[in-house]
Chain A
Amino acid sequence: MRTDITKINEKSSHTELTEGLMVFAGGTSKLFQTGEWRTNTPVFHEDLCKQCLLCAPVCPDGSIPVKDSKRGAFDYDHCKGCGICERVCPFGAIEMKEGNTNGN
């Protein structure tokens, strides 16, 4: 990361900002936690999951990580709790719970 965005914040002086407000790095938004927006939380019941992966592409926030063709735990730092994944799961392996619970 050539632009270290952790050194840029809303109190930075003009001398600390990047030229033209360009960011010389990719994917820095990962440092912004949209998980705080959540009012409902998807809970993953791994025992019910058949790993069909229908949930992974429908997530607007890329918060269902896939590795070796298997989905992992929700990325609660970023999941906004929209509930699309729950509706597409044919096996009831995702349950929406009220509140921002981090899956507990």
Chain B
Amino acid sequence: MSDYSLKNIMNKPERLAPGHRMCAGCGATIAVRAVLRALHEDDHAVIGNATGCLEVSSFMYPYTAWEDSYIHNAFENAGATLSGVETAYNALKKRGKLPEDETFKFITFGGDGGTYDIGFQSLSGAMERGHDMVYVCYDNGAYMNTGIQRSSATPMYADTTTTPVGKQSDGKMQNRKDLASIIADHDVAYVGQTTFTSDFKDLHSKANKAIYTEGPCFLNIMTPCPRGWRYDTPDIMKICKLAIDTCYWPMFEVDHGKWKLTYEPKKKLPIEDFLRPQGRFKHLFKKGNEDLIVQFQEEVDRRWEDLLYKCAR
């Protein structure tokens, strides 16, 4: 990836057509576009998709935004569905029913609801069985499609519609599940956690490795949701930058079991910097709630130290 150049990579034809119905400023399709740019131009792809914002907005009959073949089956089974497609590819190749010189890659997208929660078993099964596919989670930290309900990816203290802040509630009580680590513990070929950086090099590099590493691969991409997070919509790139510079969202990869940090902020910023621009954390800045931010910071620090330890091994 040392020869990465945004100016060159942006020349590739778009594989996600415009005209989809995602909200203005949505992070999910920024992620999808970036992942698909990592496909070699001559390669074909079958794209899977769990039910969610992306699915209902990108294939609303008869409008498909996908230039490649696409299958949405249901909410909880994107892993299993694509494992069937990938197996069909092997079966048909073996039987000489597909042209030998054509290559297909298998990429499925799911939100954190379809990935961390309802589709977790299906994902785990597909990863464990070793299908040559990439599962991409676009993690926006709540069930946004149904109206911002908490998921196991929702950060602690976030105000969601099922963890509303009130007299008796400070928002979500639990810390978020570290899914990238859990999938890495499946001993899969490649896991990458990333988000958007100005040149998109980190995301591109990880998508490229995930797509072109043989075996099951997993990408966890933080994709801010302006509606759910309640920041100023045009500020998405600033939010992403704060997420990585506060170490809230560390960027790392696990390549055949080897953990590697792919970004270390020169100066680790306090978590307040990430929390403050977001309406879902507004209550944390009320007088008397200082200890909540302290706890949040402690959790970020603990996870960051743990990650540094894993990467130093």
Residues on A lying within 8 angstroms of B by beta carbon are 3, 5, 8, 18, 21, 23, 25-34, 37-38, 51, 53-54, 56-63, 66-69, 75, 77-78, 80-84, 86-88, 96
Contacts and interface: CB of A to CB of B under 8 A. Distances in A.
B63 A32 contact: yes
A23 B60 CA distance: 10
Contacts of A83: 25, 233-234
A27 B66 contact: yes
B63 A87 contact: no
B18 interface: yes
A57 B175 CA distance: 31
Interface string B210-250: 00000000000000000000000111111000000000000
B22 A78 contact: no
Contact of A25 (B25, B64, B235): B64
B136 interface: no
Nearest to A6: B62
Contacts of B198: 54, 88
Contacts of A69: 7-8, 10-11
B258 interface: no
Nearest to A27: B17
Given A5-B62, A27-B64, A58-B237, A34 B196 contact: no
Given A78-B19, A82-B25, A82-B233, A60 B11 contact: no
B234 A84 contact: yes
A61 B237 contact: no
B207 to A, nearest CB: 12
Contact of A23 (B6, B11, B64): B64
B264 interface: no
Contact of A29 (B10, B17, B68, B69): B17
A63 B26 CA distance: 13
Q: Say what secondary structure dominates the interface of chain A.
A: loop
B283 interface: no
B21 interface: yes
B221 to A, nearest CB: 13
Interface residues on B, range: 35 or more
15 contacts: A21-B61, A23-B64, A27-B66, A28-B17, A28-B62, A34-B20, A57-B33, A58-B236, A62-B14, A62-B33, A69-B11, A77-B18, A78-B19, A80-B24, A96-B234
Contacts of B34: 57
B237 to A, nearest CB: 5
Contacts of A23: 59, 61-62, 64
Contact of B10 (A27, A56, A78, A80): A56
A66 B11 contact: yes
A82 B7 contact: no
A75 B18 CA distance: 9
Contacts of B73: none
B33 A86 contact: no
Nearest to A63: B18
A78 B18 contact: yes
A28 to B, nearest CB: 5
Interface in B1-54: 6-8, 10-11, 14, 16-30, 33-34, 37
B238 A18 contact: no
B89 interface: no
Contact of B21 (A31, A34, A58): A34
Contact of B22 (A18, A26, A60): A60
Contacts of B75: none
A37 B63 contact: no
Contact of A62 (B6, B17, B233, B236): B17
